[in-house]
Amino acid sequence: MGVPLSDDEQRILRQIEEQLQSDERFAQNTSPAGMYRQSAKTVRWAGLGAIAGLIFTVVALQIHFLLAFGGFLMMLGCALVIERQLRAIGKVGVQDLAASLKNSRISAARMRDRFPRD
């Protein structure tokens, strides 16, 4: 199989592992929720873009149909971005994001219960 590591190499490997475990930013980025955070943010912005495109289309229909068609193309582009990002996240990623959102809501409720406002 492979060559066993020397004592010095094992010590260096343990040091690297300890540093990675203590690095909170690394832990957040490699957690299941952290891995999909950027895609989820892109989906949110594209959703807002699609809503803005719909509003623009409705308003532009009163001005000129070609202007409204531009709004439709904007909505279509946003829908394609959403579709691409959701495919990148995949089914497991969507479940992980839903679980992390549920956990964050639960922890927020616990904080509100623990520290009530006067």
- Position 20 scores a pLDDT of 72
Task: Measure the CA–CA gap between 93 and 95, rounded to whole angstroms.
Answer: 5
Task: Measure the CA–CA gap between 88 and 96, rounded to whole angstroms.
Answer: 13
Task: Measure the CA–CA gap between 6 and 12, rounded to whole angstroms.
Answer: 10
> Whole domain around residue 18: which residue ranges?
7-29+38-114
Q: What is the pLDDT of residues 10-69, one digit of tens each?
A: 888 888 877 777 777 766 666 655 667 777 888 899 999 999 999 999 999 999 999 999
- Position 5 scores a pLDDT of 76
- The residue among 86, 63, 84, 60 whose CA lies nearest residue 73 is 60
- The residue among 4, 93, 92, 85 whose CA lies nearest residue 45 is 85
Q: Which two tokens stand for residue 36?
A: 């999909």
- Position 108 scores a pLDDT of 59
Examine residue 2 and state whether it is found in any structural domain, yes or no: no
Number of domains within the chain: 1
Q: Which two tokens stand for residue 22?
A: 């203590």
Q: What is the pLDDT of residues 55-103, one digit of tens each?
A: 999 999 999 999 999 999 999 999 999 998 888 877 666 677 677 667 7
